[in-house]
Structure 1
């Protein structure tokens, strides 16, 4: 293990085990997560789902090479009470929200299956590459016991990268909502990028690392008294593990009146007037931060 630097909240820990051709990510979200969900009044079941999805978004987003690249995770219903889940990550900026049927959500119980939440829905994961302008998207069914299972299926089908994903979330009396996650991936010798990879799924080194990682408990992922370096050491102390802190995570809703004015300026002037109310304001509702932004026609015209 390299020098201990102690990573705790809102910053992923990147690690590699070169002898086993494995790379991994660990993250524990706390203050940033609570800032995101504070704008909404989610019931416990919805809060836990979104918290785990946000942890997954950070794990996947931390694999992006360029700061301006973006990872978007979207889960859409196939008839369940969760109608839409959207999270995205760009350069450490994280945001997400849920749209759901509150009455139907009550009926799924305290520990629902993924099918009970979404029905026969789907998960879409999109990588937008800033340097090349390319977009990679994979869509898979929402299968398995958790959204992490569905993401594993994505890597299996779309990327051909054997992966293990563990997610956990809970509410703490002092720290508020906590969420943690582990992403472990097997890469061929010498491969460190996110190109399409073809590897053997029965590789003994990968199976060994995967078996060990699977022993990680939910309470360890969300334990505020345990650093991420300590978790990595507990799991892989038999190997040489190289660790590196990732980009610090913060709430990243990019909404502002100026931003919306710029977007609305692309509409013809007649359509802008139709959107405006009697006071000459276009009311823009941001689902991410649960706020309404009144944008005047004058502010929109200033962007022409």
Structure 2
């Protein structure tokens, strides 16, 4: 394994096993996760769901190559108590929000299934590429026992890349909410433009790597005493593994009065007047950070 400084919290670890045509990412969220959670008082089952979704967002979003591109993960209900789950990632900035019906949540018990939470819902993963201006979106049903299962289905259906996704979260008495995840993928063998005949789920090299990675325990992913490099070494100590630290993650709510003034300036003046109160203020409620932003009408006028 190549040498690197050790990675513990709020920073992905990228690794490659070239001889097995395998790439992967670990991430463990702690302080950043708790800053995001502090905006709302989520019950334990919702805290766990959002934490795992935020880990998945980092695993996927950290694959972006430039600072202006954005990855958005959104899960919507098909009749369950969760109405909306949305997270996004841009240049290391992470945010997330979950909306749910407390009464319906109480009816599904303390350990609900994914179907119990969402019903026949769907998972949408969107990549907005800043350089090319392209938007790419994959939508799959929320099937399986967890968000991780749905993510594997996304890779299978939308990208045809054999993948293993592991996500877990727990509440620690000292650290608060801690969550970790692993994304492992099999790369096609050959040059760009050739048939991807080697990128298949039953390839022996992929089966070998996947079987080893599947032995990883949830408690290892959230163990604050073990660095991410340690986890990679435990799993693949018989392989030549190249590792590098990814971009550090921070709480990234981009909400401020200046931002909302620019957004509101796109609305017709008559609509802005209807939104405003008697003092000429539009109160914008940010669901991500649970704050109200008062935007004066005359502040919006300067954006034209």
Interval containing the TM-score (normalised by the shorter chain): over 0.9
Moved more, 5-14 or 65-74: 65-74
Q: Distance in 1 between matches of 2:292 and 2:191?
A: 46
Partner of 1:52: 52
Query: Are 1:276 and 2:276 counterparts?
Result: yes
Partner of 2:184: 184
CA contact (8 A) 1:9 1:28 kept: yes
Moved more, 30-39 or 124-133: 124-133
Q: Distance in 2 between matches of 1:68 and 1:22?
A: 27
Compared CA separation, residues 191 and 273, structure 1 to 2 (3 A)? farther
Partner of 1:118: 118
CA contact (8 A) 1:159 1:197 kept: no
Partner of 1:227: 227
Partner of 2:38: 38
Gaps of 5+ in 1: none
Q: Distance in 1 between matches of 2:177 and 2:148?
A: 18
Q: Distance in 2 between matches of 1:197 and 1:273?
A: 56
| Residue-by-residue CA offset, 1:80-103 (whole Å, 9 max, x unaligned) | 000100000000000000010011
How far is the alpha carbon of 1:131 from its aligned partner? 1.5
CA contact (8 A) 1:160 1:197 kept: no
| Residue-by-residue CA offset, 1:201-246 (whole Å, 9 max, x unaligned) | 2110000000000111000000011000000000000100000000
Poorly superposed stretches of 4+, deviation over 4 Å: none
Q: How does 1:83-122 map to 2 (within 5 A)?
A: 83-122=83-122
How far is the alpha carbon of 1:115 from its aligned partner? 0.3
Partner of 2:140: 140
Normalised by the length of structure 1, the TM-score is: 0.97
Partner of 1:159: 159
Q: Distance in 1 between matches of 2:263 and 2:255?
A: 11
- The root-mean-square deviation of aligned C-alpha atoms, in Å, is 1.5
SS in 2 for 1:157: helix
CA contact (8 A) 2:92 2:248 kept: yes
Partner of 1:175: 175
How far is the alpha carbon of 1:107 from its aligned partner? 2.0
Normalised by the length of structure 2, the TM-score is: 0.97
Q: Distance in 2 between matches of 1:83 and 1:129?
A: 27
Q: Distance in 2 between matches of 1:134 and 1:266?
A: 22
How far is the alpha carbon of 1:200 from its aligned partner? 2.2
| Residue-by-residue CA offset, 1:37-67 (whole Å, 9 max, x unaligned) | 1000100000000000000000001111222
How far is the alpha carbon of 1:191 from its aligned partner? 6.6
Query: Are 1:209 and 2:205 counterparts?
Result: no
Compared CA separation, residues 191 and 9, structure 1 to 2 (3 A)? farther
